Structure 1
Amino acid sequence: MNTVLWILTGLLAAALLVSTSKAFVPREKIASAGPTAEWVLDFSPAALRGIAALEFLAAIGLILPAVLGIAPVLVPVTATCVALLFVGATAVRLRRGERKTVVGDLVYLAIAVFIAIGRFGPWAFTS
């Protein structure tokens, strides 16, 4: 199960890193990618940079504490915060009426919750 948790953690961290592109690409260009990306127009550029910064820090917090062995308890704490981030993403999608596109956010939410439960519980990192 430890291997499964590591794989899911790596996938979630990679998804969060890819998602940080919203800090560097103009929101109008992102929104032109399709209806699933139009949510960016609901936020100011500063808010998008803030979200991207949180996602970047989350990607780091999911991996580095365990790899370096420094405060590995931060991994499940970060996973819990990521779950809250995706609760917010799901709320935005539902508020916008994007019921079909909410599935991706729910999958990421489930992965984050699974990681948090696994790392807080039976597969916690021991120091």
Structure 2
Amino acid sequence: MTQNLVLIGHGMVGHRFLETLAERGALADPAAPDGPGWQVTVLAEEDRPAYDRVHLSSAFTGATDAELALCATEAALFKDGEGRVYAVGNRDPFSGADVIAHGILGTRDGRTVVASPMYKQEFDLLTGECLDDPSVRLPVHEV
């Protein structure tokens, strides 16, 4: 029988708790909602996945959100006309929505870019740099 668990907050301790449940096979299988295990609901104030708060000050010396993340984040994959594959973070930094994978692939000034489907900012797929606001970047993943 599935039991419900509400986790308040998704910091380092909460994240480790969920990892332990997963390692022990104690989480419910979404494909079998009446099966054994815990169905978890996470209530968190922050709109980002759990991150390493101990090393948070390294963000001031260049550490990225992806480097501080404790769990995997969604990636958006693109293949250009030449067959090159790119992977960047799926979260639009301007809207907070996971929509970059639905963006429009193109080029701008000789750079391969994706335009966010939300507010249309364009991001360089090699560097993650927002061409409309260079202070903003998407995380870039190795393919």
Q: Please, what TM-score do these two structures have when normalized by structure 2? A: 0.22
Higher helix share: 1
Q: Quick check: which one's strand share is greater? A: 2
Name the TM-score, length of structure 1 as normaliser.
0.24
Higher relative contact order (CA 8 A, sep 6+): 1
